[in-house]
Amino acid sequence: MDKPVNENQLDQFKSLIAKLFQCCQARMQYQSEKFGLPEAELRCLILFGQERYLTSKGIAIKMNVVKSRVTKVVQGLVKRGLIHRVPDPKDSRVSLLALTADGQRKIDKINQFIDSIHWEVLSRMAQEQRRTLLQNLDILSASMEAVKELMV
């Protein structure tokens, strides 16, 4: 009974996704500039919003990046005084990373900015529209996630 995906839908979909992607990229570039941090360091810093202490390994997993890369990024953030190392009392191989006061302030400002951008996007539509949009995005993201798994 269900009609198959047609050409038009496919093309429209491709172009919409491409636009969304570009907007996200532009936002990240902008915010890197605005806060004077390389994109990777900014992405790393944000992780500390969720957890008080992180290890290099943990960061590598969350950032989906190899551990030697994390070494570099963390060095950058330490040099900037945004995070600092504390030795892990349980295991002397690892050092725990945590925000400094400066880092906390920075992260607050960054999160505020990110929220404001997303808020701005949502606020341009009516409440009802927002609700259905989120429903649809949820379905889309599940579908994309599933296809991504096939792709490995």
Partner DNA sequence: TTAGAATGGTTCACATCATGAACTTTTGGA
Partner DNA sequence: TCCAAAAGTTCATGATGTGAACCATTCTAA
Which stretches of the chain bind a copy of itself, using CB under 8 A?
A: 2-5, 9-10, 12-14, 16-17, 19-21, 23-24, 26-27, 30, 114-115, 117-127, 129-130, 132-134, 136-141, 143-148, 150-152
Please report, as a single letter, which amino acid is at residue 114.
I
45 binds DNA (CB under 7 A): no
C-beta separation of 41 from 77 below 8 A = yes
Calpha distance 97→48 (Å, rounded): 9
* Per-residue binder mask for DNA (CB under 7 A), 74-113, x = binder: xxx-------------xxxxxx------------------
- Report, in angstroms and rounded to the nearest whole number, the Rg of the chain calculated over CA atoms: 20
* Residue 65 touches which member of a copy of itself, DNA, none, C-beta under 5-8 Å by kind: DNA
- Give one word for 38, left, alpha or beta, with left for phi > 0 and alpha for psi -120 to 50: beta
- Tally of helices (H runs) and strands (E runs) in the chain: 6, 2
Q: Smallest gap, in angstroms, from Cβ of residue 117 to DNA?
A: 19
Calpha distance 130→149 (Å, rounded): 28
* Residue 145 touches which member of DNA, a copy of itself, none, C-beta under 5-8 Å by kind: a copy of itself
Chain residues binding DNA by CB under 7 A are: 32, 38-41, 55-57, 63-76, 90-95
